[in-house]
Structures are given as C-alpha cells and as structure tokens.
A and B are shown apart, each in its own frame.
Chain A
Amino acid sequence: MTDARNMEEYLALFPYTSAAARYVEASTKTFESLLAVGEFPKRVLNRSVERVTRAITGNISTSSIERDDYEIEIFSYVMARVLVSCISETLLIQRYANAEAQDAFDNLRHTAEPSQDEYLKSLLDDFRMPASMENNAFQLHFTDFVRYTGRLRGPQWRLVNLLNRGRVTLAKGEMIQILAEVVRLKVLGGLPLKLSGKMCEELSPYTSPLKEAFSQVSLHSIDSGPVVLEACPPCIKALLSQVKAGRNLSHPARFALTSFLANIGMKADEIVRIYQTSPDFDYELTRYQVEHIRGASGKDYIPPGCSTMETYGNCVESEVLCQRVTHPLSYYRVRIKRREGAQPNPRE
C-alpha cells in the first residue's frame, strides 16, 4: 500500500485479512475494553449490530454511522463475529459470511483504478494466492481456481473450458468474484467462536433483537410442507421419468433421487412405490436401501450437489434457475418459496 491513509482504508474495507488481524493484535484496545462503557465501544457495537442486521434482512447497508472511522470498521467486524457466535444459528452464520462477501465484491467493484489494482494485489497476497496480473487479466494456478469456484455456475467457471498449462486466465471482474468467495470462506472460518456464556450474557441486549429478527425471516422451512413434485429441479424430474419409463438407474442416480426425495420429506413407502416400475425391482432390497439412505430422520444423507450430478452425467440443466443454484435442494426451495409467494395465505 502506498500511503498510510490507503492502508487504513484497505483494512477497514477488508477487515478479515491477516493484515487486519495483525492490526487488531497490535492495537492497545483489548477485547474487554470493547465491552466497557464509552463512546468508542458504543459505536463499535452499533456498527457490528448493523453488520449482522444487514445479513439478516439482505439489505445493502445504508449506514447511519460515519464509515470513515477506520478503526470502528475493523473492530466492528471482530465484534460482529462475536455476535453471530452468541446467536449460534448455522444459517445466520452462513448468511453473515455471504453478506461480508457481497460487501467485498461491491467494494472492489466500486473502487477506482489505481487503488482497485492495489487492493486486488494486496488481497491476493494476503490470501496467499500467487497470481500474475497483466493488462487487466489475471493468471491463477488451477488449484486456487478450483478451490473457490465450486459454487459458481456456468461454463466460464469450469476448469475444462479454461485450463492452459496449469493456469487459468481471468478477467478482472471474474477475479473479483473469486476473491469474494475467498472472503466468504475466510469469514466462515472459525465460526462460531467458542465463547464464554458470561460474555454472551453481557451482549444479550444486542443479540436478542437480532435473534428475534432472524427467526422472523427464517420461518420458511421446506421440510415441514407437503411434497411438491412439480417443484423438483429438471434433473430429479428426468430421473423420475426414467424410473416411470421402466429404465434402470445407475447407482449414483438412484442415490441422488432417493436422498433428494427423502430430504424434501417423502416417506419411505412412497419412495419405494416410485421404484416399483423398475425392471429389476426387488421389494425387500429397495425397501432396505431406501430406509438406509433415508435414515431415521429422512436426512441422514444429503443429496449430491449440482457439480456431482454433472460429473455422473445426471445434470440436465435446462432451466435458468439452474444457473443460479448449486444444489438441487436449493432449486426446490426457491420454487416452493415462489409458489408460497404466489398463493394468498389463507390465514391472512
């Protein structure tokens, strides 16, 4: 970083970097002092509540707090991690990481050029991703590329379309997208923190309203509702129609179908009935296999994601929604939500 001001701004924008962690460590401000009474701790806490709130509501922050206080940005990240750890909801933690990643993405995109390139270089360095940069194109080793592109859909993210002598070439926008994924994983790393009950107790005036807000938005759960076969993704529908047509499924396909149906709440009997048209149908065997895959809870096995489906040739990706999800279950969730949104709620 060329000057101190830039450096501070960098740390404030990217508080999950090891550089920021070193800054916090070297600072005279102890963790205890952040919980004490005072103007600085108060502003840090408010800003950290805002960070978590944004993750819950999905709204990009329109901050009421002065964002130019770099230290508050840095320490509020530390404190936000504490807050989500006290709330300790897996889904919230994931959403929080997504929100920080989204912020990183926006910040990188909206920073003007000389600083933008400097930030990119510093981040790649900080994340230990050796990449060469030339004419707005980046060369990344394939191992770093595959590590962070698993959740991205579309041919432009597949190694098979890009690899050249151990490296892939990426446009700047693509590099930023990958860095956002690195950020997501960085933020996720170590969460939830192991904290004392006493500390969470002290923070409960802040965490309770957050918890409340989160439970409001997370009420929607697909698992309790009825099974809606029309909401299944095209890959699952294709497998279903193959079974119906009396064709035998390969082992991975059978596993995918069974675990998917079990996860959306189908009972073992109903699943067995689906396989009845299979030419090699064996009631006892099928029943045993279905029950094993289903498990006691119906969720002992999570069905394979889009990339696994693709590897085994079971992905048919025929719809736009497929581009936006990385897991057949997410597809189903989106469809179910849309249906619910479209239908008037009888209780209201």
Chain B
Amino acid sequence: MNAKTKAFLESKFREYYHNAVIGLPPRFQKREWAFVLFDSAYPRLVMRRHKAFSSQNEFQTYLTAVSPAHVYYSTACYAYPSATRMQDKKWEGADLIFDLDADKLLSDSVPSYARMLQSVKNETDKLLDFLMNDFGFDYTDFSIVFSGGRGYHVHLREGRLVTLGSHERREVVNYLTGTGLEPEYLRRTTFTPMPTDNSCWEIRIKTWIDMYFKRVRDLDTEKAITELSAFKAIGKRRAKEIVDVMSEDSTIQPLLQTRLMPLAAWKSLIREAISQIKVSIDVPVTADTKRLIRLPTSLHGASGFRVTPLTLDEFRRFEPLHDAVVFTDRSISVKILKPAIAELKGETIKVHQGTTELPEHTAVYLMARGLAEYESRRLESDQK
C-alpha cells in the first residue's frame, strides 16, 4: 500500500469519523482501548494499546484527530485500564464474546465473499437460538455486531456472566460445539422412558432424529432402503425391515421397542445429529477474558465496512455487503493490482490489472484489501 493510498483511505476514514455517531460500550472508562493507524508501518498492524478515556468527548476528539484504520476495546473492565502491564490493570470482569468467522466454517472450496458471509450468518442464527432457548437469555441480553470483515460478534454483558473465568467460559463453548456429548451416554438417557428433565441438547438430538426418520419415511421404499443401508451396521435386509416397521407408525417408537436399529447405527445417527446441530465458533475468543474486540460503529480498516451493531430484527434483515457500506458511489480512479471481484451494493464488479474508474465504496474496499492503489488526482478538485 503506497503513501498516496494510505493518505486517501485516512482522509475517507476521517470524513466518516467526523460525521458519524460513535457508540461507546457500557463502562467505557474502565476499558483498555487500542488503535491501528494508517502510519508508515501500515498495513502491518502496529497496535497502540493501553489507552483509556474518561469521557465521550475526549474519545471523539482523539478519534477524529487520528482517524484510525482499526479501533478495539477490551472486553474486560479494569480498575486501571491504562496500566501497561496486564497484571497491574486489576481485572474486574469481562463481557462474554462469541466470534463467528468464515475462516472456521469453510475450508476446501473458495466460495464468493457474499456466500461466505451468508453461511456465517446462518451459523450466527444458530448461536442466537442456543442463547435464547438453551441458556434462557432474552434477546435484550445480547448485542449482535457485523465485524466488518468475515463474520459476526455477539456480546453478552449480563451480571452473572461477567465474572466467569476462562475455564467456565470454555464450558459454555463446549456446550455450543457439543464437546463432551457422548452418543453412548445420550442413548442411555434420551431414548429410555424419561421423566421431564431432559437437557436441551437431548431434546435437540431427539427432534433431529425424529425429523430424519420422517424424511426417510417420505422417501419411496427403494430410496429409503438405500438411505438406511448407508449405515455400516445396517444391511439391505435389515433396512427393509426397518422401512416396513416405520410405515406402520408415524413415530420412532416401534424402532425403539423392536431393537431393529443396531446400536452402532443409533450411535452414528446421534453423531451425525450433533455435527449438524452444533455451532462452529472460535474457541479462544470466548475463553479469553482479556480480549480486544472491534468497536461497533467504527470502520474495519481492511474492508472499509462499518462494524455494524444490530438488533435481532435488524440482524435477520441484514445484508452486510449492502448495509455495512458507508461510502458513496461517486467515481474514483484506481490502479488494480490483482484481478478481483467486488459485490457491493448489489452490484458485481469484476476488475483486471490496470487503471479504472470505480464507485468510491468499491474503490475503498479494494484499496483496503490491498488489491488496488489510489490513482485519482481528483481529490483536490472535488474539495473545491
């Protein structure tokens, strides 16, 4: 990234910070703040850490003065947030954070950015369902944030959560990822006549298995037999017997009573259910009680997108590549370094090496990602 590009990005970010209403997290005075500037080292991330602010005004003044590429604050609150050694800060508690990132979800294929974001959004939706249903939180207990990059953050600040240590937070993550759920343990408890105390995971698995057999029941006989004999433990003949029994009843009761399904098949079915139900989530982020996290309403320096706070309703309707775009569509001249595709504001733009004119938001996006350099001399003339 050359100096001209940096200066341009910095001026655009300054313009944003000058006009935007920046929301600060609760107890912001007790948090450590960190910034990455468009300085000579950029895009190498040199973090200016251990800052603290005592008023909204002081913060806003600093922000517009330095117009940073990235803004972070500590999920923890400290007695002395500006102390430079962690042990001197005196930890007082930390928000519980969940980080859902496309990195963790897709490995083999390289799908488009838009598809990637959609699949992270689905994963986030799963997480929210777990938080509300299994953990019993109200939607007012958490805030959802589009990270401006590849995913979403979910912040919880409920009083009983903030003093949880790293180990306890990992137990929460283990819950979401289904770690420690053992098919053997579950089979014993879930599928025997039980009173009422089933765990939410058991209920989820049971529902999933019910749905699975419902789907198999709706297939025609041949297809159903093929589906079932895909299990290692089930041969063709056994599969046919199962299909016959299932056609007589709309529940899985006969299967449980007849022992037609071999144990190994139950287990692999449970395993499959777990892998479908669980949430893919970044473990260390949640377990870390001293994490730095991006400030909602700031800009993400590697995309130019707004780190967007969302209510549950807004989240459901949210289109990141549309709604997190803050820059205009007036024309900017850039030099493309690598062929790329950008899909901002509902418009797919393919670019090739060389100089070209692009809408400002797409130009900022490509420059921020290091795929283009600033070319235009129009900046000065624009300001006239």
Contact = CB atoms under 8 A, between A and B. Distances in A.
B134 interface: yes
Interface in B119-136: 133-136
Chain A interface size band reads 20 to 34
A143 B170 contact: no
A126 interface: no
Nearest to A313: B179
A163 B180 contact: no
Interface stretch (A12-20, A203-211, A272-280, A303-311): A303-311
Contact of A166 (B137, B164, B168, B171): B137
B87 interface: no
A147 B164 contact: yes
A158 interface: yes
Given A165-B133, A165-B134, A310-B180, A158 B174 contact: yes
A161 B167 contact: no
Contacts of A173: none
A213 B358 CA distance: 80
A225 interface: no
Interface in A120-150: 141-144, 146-147, 149-150
Q: Looking at chain B's contact residues, is the secondary structure mostly helix, strand, loop, or mixed?
A: helix
A188 interface: no
A307 B199 contact: no
A312 interface: yes
B174 A150 contact: no
Q: Which of B134, B173, B186 has the most CB of A within 10 A?
A: B134
A141 B161 CA distance: 11
Contacts of B134: 163-166
B55 to A, nearest CB: 32
A61 B186 CA distance: 41
A163 B185 contact: no
Contacts of A311: 170, 173-174, 179, 283, 287
Contacts of A316: none
A131 to B, nearest CB: 13
Interface size class for chain B?
Answer: 20 to 34
Given A167-B136, A307-B167, A159 B175 contact: yes
A160 B178 contact: yes
A146 B180 CA distance: 14
Contacts of A163: 134-135, 175, 199-201
A310 B179 contact: yes
B198 interface: yes
A57 B167 CA distance: 31
Nearest to A326: B167
B197 interface: yes
A143 to B, nearest CB: 4
B160 interface: yes
B182 interface: yes
A158 B171 CA distance: 8
Interface in B333-349: none
Interface in B260-289: 283, 287
Contact of B171 (A141, A159, A312): A159
A138 to B, nearest CB: 12
B310 interface: no
A160 B181 contact: yes
A31 to B, nearest CB: 29
B172 interface: yes
A333 B133 CA distance: 42
Contacts of B179: 160, 310-311, 313
A155 B182 CA distance: 8
A238 interface: no
Contacts of B181: 160-161
Q: Which of B172, B186, B197, B199 lies at the interface centre, i.e. has the most chain A CB atoms within 10 A of its CB?
A: B199
A137 to B, nearest CB: 8
A258 interface: no
A87 interface: no
Interface string A80-91: 000000000000
Contacts of A165: 133-136, 200
A325 interface: no
Interface string B147-188: 000000000000011001101101111110011111001100
A169 B168 CA distance: 18
A144 B135 CA distance: 13
B136 A146 contact: no
Nearest to B181: A160
Contacts of B137: 166
Nearest to A139: B197
Given A311-B179, A312-B283, A161 B185 contact: yes
B180 A143 contact: no
A161 B183 CA distance: 11
Given A166-B137, A311-B170, A143 B164 contact: yes
Of residues B134, B161, B171, B179, which shows the largest number of chain A Cβ atoms within 10 Å of its Cβ? Answer: B171
A162 B160 CA distance: 19
A173 B197 CA distance: 17
Contact of B180 (A150, A161, A169): A161
Nearest to A169: B197
A336 B216 CA distance: 54
A141 B180 contact: no
A186 to B, nearest CB: 15
A156 B25 CA distance: 38
A196 B179 CA distance: 49
A308 B171 CA distance: 9
Contacts of A159: 171-172, 174-175
A146 B174 CA distance: 12
Nearest to A166: B136
Contacts of B171: 146, 149-150, 158-159, 307
Nearest 8 interchain pairs by C-beta: A166-B136, A146-B168, A143-B160, A146-B171, A158-B180, A165-B136, A160-B180, A150-B167
Interface of B: 133-137, 160-161, 164-165, 167-168, 170-175, 178-182, 185-186, 197-201, 283, 287
7 contacts: A144-B160, A160-B180, A160-B201, A161-B181, A161-B186, A163-B201, A311-B287
Given A159-B175, A165-B135, 17 more contacts: A141-B160, A143-B168, A144-B160, A146-B164, A150-B167, A150-B171, A158-B171, A158-B180, A159-B174, A160-B178, A161-B186, A161-B201, A163-B201, A165-B136, A305-B167, A311-B174, A311-B179
